Structure 1
Amino acid sequence: MKKELDFFRVGRAYGGNQDWFADPMMRLGGCAAVTACDSSIYFDRYRGTRLYPFHQGRISKKEYTRFGMRMKPYLKPRWSGIDSLDIYIDGYGAFLEDAGCDSIGMKPFSGEESAELAGKEVVKQIDRGFPVPCLTLNHTNPSFKFYEWHWFLLTGYETAEKDCKVKAVTYGSWNWISLNGLWDTGYSRRGGLILYGEK
């Protein structure tokens, strides 16, 4: 079974890209803020919120980066990175509160849970119409180096008997990757998922 969420484009890019920012810290460590920006635009388009302050019809890179700079104080890049689920929930939660949005809730799903359970949660979230923020920390498999110490969105799934592939969205593009491979980092300290929901 396969399912993908409708998403949005910024010009030709599939979602936002931290490389667009003039701010060096946002280019280096703005992945959590970009994940929150992309989530916000998605919620506006498909769940009726009003979080993106500019015109929704055709999103420009200039306006997107202005929005990202508004998000920056809530998910401020730091040298250690936004390296826990709680930091994201606290920061994005504060943004939602300041924006007057009381319809979106969040809860953490630890990377210490099994890949099987993670796959089930991703399927449930996508079926409910929610993108899934994912945090990957260190990874022993060089195939996943692109996602190492990084926040990004999962916006689709394809289930199979032994694995679940997920549509990973980051840097203005997407790839289908193995969730089992992504989840099995080889390290004891792991990231995890943010599970959005209606309050």
Structure 2
Amino acid sequence: MKRFLVSLLLCLTLVFSTTVGFAASNSNQDLSADNNKFLTQDEVLKLAEYDLATYVIPELNNNIKLQVDRSLIELKDVNENKYVYLLSIQDEGRNIGYMIIDARKNGYGVIERSLNNNEFSLIRMNFSELKSGDSMLYMFPSLFIVKEKIGDNINYKQIKENGEKKDITNFINARKNDIKESINELYKNRSNIRIPTSLNATSQNESVSVLDEPNFVPVYGYDENVGYVHQMYGGNQIWFSEKLGQDEGCGTVAAANIAYYLAKYRYGYENLYKYSDITKDNFIKHMEEVYKYVTPSTSVLPGIPSKSDLVIKFESFAKSRGVNLKADLSDIPHSIEPVSTYIKAGLSKNSPVAFLMNYNSKYPEFNFHWMTITKYFRNVTTDERDIAVSSWATRYSLNLKYILDYDQYLSVAFVYFE
């Protein structure tokens, strides 16, 4: 799906920046006038540093000493409520990514992380170019939009991966009231994140992943997201030759990712990927072959709009390659424990989990998005649950509780194959 529609669906969390730049803050300064509701700056930094120590650095599997910039960017929602903080992740003073933390004491802690340096650089560049009256919007996950004031008019522009800005003013204006209403409901959720007292990682943390998670579908080639040749993390729907695939092909990409991974790591599934390497050119050919079977719909519900649709089409592709692929269609209640159990079951069998964040009945015009889950993580100190996903050829870490608690606005689906 198009990135804007995806993010608008996922949370309907429209937030505005109250600053016009990256300004450093005093370490003892409270960022909230009401400390009973919101985290102080010190608490935000403790959460960020703890997250680096227990999640980000162990994931990188080396001894680098990452840190977060103490300069925080405060972002607000469309109702002018304080909502989240954006922080820069740094390696020896060099920005390498970002994390986003819920500003509320009864919030969800870290809700998103990315080590995509290009993405953060684009955010910072656009902040530096904001004029008086301008601001930036954030939508969960990983979407930033510039709000521009031109005379009496307000324009909204999506920041795309290549740095271009796409005008989405009409789309935003048509849905402002619904978004405001949704945000008011979202604030009713309570998580009560625990502030860690120690930065020491605990051996009790739970982690389950596919066998070679850091190198999941390591497509090598020129990456439009960063502007140079390197190893990516799965496929990207913008690589399809047809516009339908570029706009609606996220489910096809998830199937192509899973087909490659199973072909590489599961005996008897080798025919699911027929190329000897995984250059970008060859993986695009593979995506186009999967596309012939896992073809996005052009009906009222475009793309691959349901779990059953993906299962039928992907199993048909596998059958064409002589592989008897079957989905685990277990019924999963949409609450944290059964969803966690299902995800862990798939990953423990070395099977990536296809994950759909779908439209909801209240907002049928909103689109949906498929991603591929490669890792599950639970921090036993904070009980934070995270999933690593492949989306747009990039690895993101998303807060699973945050997603599931907003299930009243969107339906989610999970499926893995054996």
Report the alpha carbon displacement of residue 3 of structure 1 after superposing the two structures with TM. 3.1
User: Equivalent residue for 1:4?
Assistant: 209
Distance 1:136 1:84 in 2: 10
Q: Kindly indicate whether residue 307 of structure 2 is the aligned counterpart of residue 85 of structure 1.
A: yes
User: Which of 133, 136, 141 matches 2:354?
Assistant: 133
Report the alpha carbon displacement of residue 108 of structure 1 after superposing the two structures with TM. 3.1
CA deviations 1:85-125 (Å, max 9, x no partner) are 100110001111111002x3203356753222101111121
What is the TM-score when the length of structure 2 is the normalising length?
A: 0.42
**Greater than 4 Å deviation, 4+ residue runs:** 109-112
Residues 18 and 30, structure 1, Cα contact 8 Å, conserved in 2: yes
Amino acid at match of 2:219: V
Report the alpha carbon displacement of residue 16 of structure 1 after superposing the two structures with TM. 1.0
Residues 131 and 154, structure 1, Cα contact 8 Å, conserved in 2: yes
Segments of structure 2 that go 5 or more residues without pairing to the other structure are 1-205, 221-230, 361-366
Amino acid at match of 1:114: S
Shift of the 68–29 alpha-carbon distance from structure 1 to 2, 3 Å rule, reads: same
Residues 110 and 191, structure 1, Cα contact 8 Å, conserved in 2: no
Residues 112 and 192, structure 1, Cα contact 8 Å, conserved in 2: no
CA RMSD of aligned residues (A): 2.0
Which deviates more from structure 2 when the two are superposed, residues 62-71 or residues 85-94?
A: 62-71
Percentage of identical aligned residues: 21
User: Equivalent residue for 2:90?
Assistant: none
Q: Kindly indicate whether residue 234 of structure 2 is the aligned counterpart of residue 15 of structure 1.
A: yes
Distance 1:126 1:9 in 2: 18
Secondary structure of 1:86's match?
Answer: helix
User: Which of 321, 339, 343 matches 1:99?
Assistant: 321
CA deviations 1:157-180 (Å, max 9, x no partner) are 111343421111111111111111
Segments of structure 1 that go 5 or more residues without pairing to the other structure are 140-147
User: Which of 161, 164, 172 matches 2:393?
Assistant: 172
User: Equivalent residue for 1:145?
Assistant: none
Secondary structure of 2:328's match?
Answer: strand
Secondary structure of 2:402's match?
Answer: helix
Q: Kindly indicate whether residue 278 of structure 2 is the aligned counterpart of residue 59 of structure 1.
A: yes
Aligned length: 186
Q: Kindly indicate whether residue 262 of structure 2 is the aligned counterpart of residue 43 of structure 1.
A: yes
User: Equivalent residue for 2:185?
Assistant: none
Shift of the 111–84 alpha-carbon distance from structure 1 to 2, 3 Å rule, reads: farther
User: Which of 345, 369, 372 matches 1:150?
Assistant: 369
Shift of the 107–92 alpha-carbon distance from structure 1 to 2, 3 Å rule, reads: same
Distance 2:359 2:316 in 1: 27
Shift of the 86–42 alpha-carbon distance from structure 1 to 2, 3 Å rule, reads: same
Distance 2:330 2:389 in 1: 17
Q: Which has the higher helix share?
A: 1
Secondary structure of 2:327's match?
Answer: strand
Distance 1:125 1:156 in 2: 10
Q: Kindly indicate whether residue 413 of structure 2 is the aligned counterpart of residue 192 of structure 1.
A: yes
Shift of the 109–184 alpha-carbon distance from structure 1 to 2, 3 Å rule, reads: farther
Q: Kindly indicate whether residue 281 of structure 2 is the aligned counterpart of residue 72 of structure 1.
A: no
Structure with bigger RCO (C-alpha 8 Å, 6+ apart) = 1
What is the TM-score when the length of structure 1 is the normalising length?
A: 0.85
Report the alpha carbon displacement of residue 78 of structure 1 after superposing the two structures with TM. 2.3
